[in-house]
Amino acid sequence: MLRQPAVAGSFYQGAPDSLRKQIQSLIISVNERRAAIGIMTPHAGLMYSGSVAGAVYSNILLPETFVLIGPNHTGLGAPISLMCQGEWETPLGTVQIDEPLAASILSKSPRMREDPRAHLREHSLEVQLPFIQHFMENFKIVPIQMLDTRLDTCLEVGRAVADAVKTRAQSPGHEGAGTANRKVLIVASSDMSHYELAASAKEKDFLAINNILNLDPRGLYQTVKIYGITMCGCGPTVAMLTASKLLGATRAELIKYANSGEVSGDYEHVVGYAGIVVM
């Protein structure tokens, strides 16, 4: 199955040359890229959140496969939906799904289902691809959409991803468990607070961000619930943190924080964006 772009021309430029120029304008120069196990990066229209996403992707070494975990905004498909076969298309080309890794992840969690419906109109993973395509021609993805974001489910998704990554690293033809972190990157797609005063959004967002920086998935989940933080990708981020810790992560770094008011000029109804690298 070829999953065609759902938000090309709206969330990002729809023509190849225009999209390349747009992505190039959002990439930054860094002295040294770092090896990451996981990242959290936003998924709004690139004119609003692209500078944050661009800073994150500019700062990391990019691996062979990306496990992309995002919130299901459309409500379509199974509660936890994997697309296990086929390709995804953007104006910059097609990307293959890592079918063996997807099948392995699916086998390790009874809550997951192979269901492409959740992916057909969802934007949260699609907007990650042009950044990766800017830097790489050949890579694969495992797309996971989360509608069920109960804590137990988030933790189970994270454990399933980590177990599958470890299993592949230990299989014949791979270099061993110690290389797992360089072969797969776990991407949590999330925006932060939605439609609040900029100062209020920043205050709430940093309560959540501090839990991410402390590698505390349960603390993140509880903080978001207690303070009513409208972080749409909290569940995917809990899953990413869980998997990253199981794969050996010991620290995290905030790369950039911004809000939509910096582009729109409206600081009374902002959406917050944070880019974090987990190492």
- Whether the pLDDT of residue 181 is over 90: the answer is no
Q: Are 85 and 99 contacting, i.e. CB atoms less than 8 angstroms apart?
A: yes
Kindly report the CATH number assigned to the domain that includes residue 220.
3.40.830.10
Distance CA 125, CA 43 (A): 7
Of 173, 145, 106, the C-alpha closest to 236 is 145
Strand partners, 273: 258
Helix orientation angle between 217-227 and 151-169, rounded to the nearest 10 degrees: 150
* Opening angle at CA 106, ends 186 and 164, nearest 5: 50
CA dihedral 187→190→192→195, nearest 10 degrees, is 160
Domain that holds residue 204: 2-278
**Cβ within 8 Å of residue 178, ≥6 positions away:** 169
In the chain, the percentage of residues whose pLDDT exceeds 90 is 94
Question: If we measure between CA atoms, which residue out of 145, 20, 21 comes closest to residue 90?
Answer: 20
Structure tokens that stand for 190 in this block: 């999330």
State residue 179's pLDDT score: 46
Both tokens of residue 137?
Answer: 């021609």
CA distance 174 to 52: 33
pLDDT digits (tens, 9 = 90+) for 188-247: 999 999 999 999 999 999 999 999 999 999 999 999 999 999 999 999 999 999 999 999
Task: Evaluate if residue 13 carries a pLDDT over 50.
Answer: yes
- Do 45 and 52 meet the contact criterion of CB atoms below 8 Å apart? no
Rounded distance between C-alpha atoms, residue 141 and residue 198, angstroms: 34
pLDDT digits (tens, 9 = 90+) for 40-56: 999 999 999 999 999 99
State how beta strands 38-41 and 252-259 pair. unpaired
Instruction: Place 182 in a pLDDT band, splitting at 50, 70 and 90.
Output: low
Number of domains in the chain: 1
Q: How far apart are CA 57 and CA 88, in angstroms?
A: 19
Confidence of residue 95 (pLDDT cuts 50, 70, 90): very high
Mind listing the pLDDT tens digit for each residue in 248-268? 999 999 999 999 999 999 999
Mean pLDDT, residues 97-110 taken together? 98
**How does pLDDT run across 143-170, given as a tens digit for each residue?**
999 999 999 999 999 999 999 999 988 8
Confidence at residue 171, expressed as pLDDT on a 0 to 100 scale: 78
Asked if the model's pLDDT at residue 122 lies above 70, the reply is yes
Question: Which residues lie across from 277 on neighbouring strands?
Answer: 39, 253
Instruction: Return the residue matching tokens 């992707």.
Output: 57
Distance in angstroms (rounded) separating the CA atoms of residues 51 and 256:
9
pLDDT at 170: 86
Of 134-143, 172-181, 190-199, 260-269, the poorest mean pLDDT is in: 172-181
Q: Is the per-residue pLDDT at 172 higher than 80?
A: no
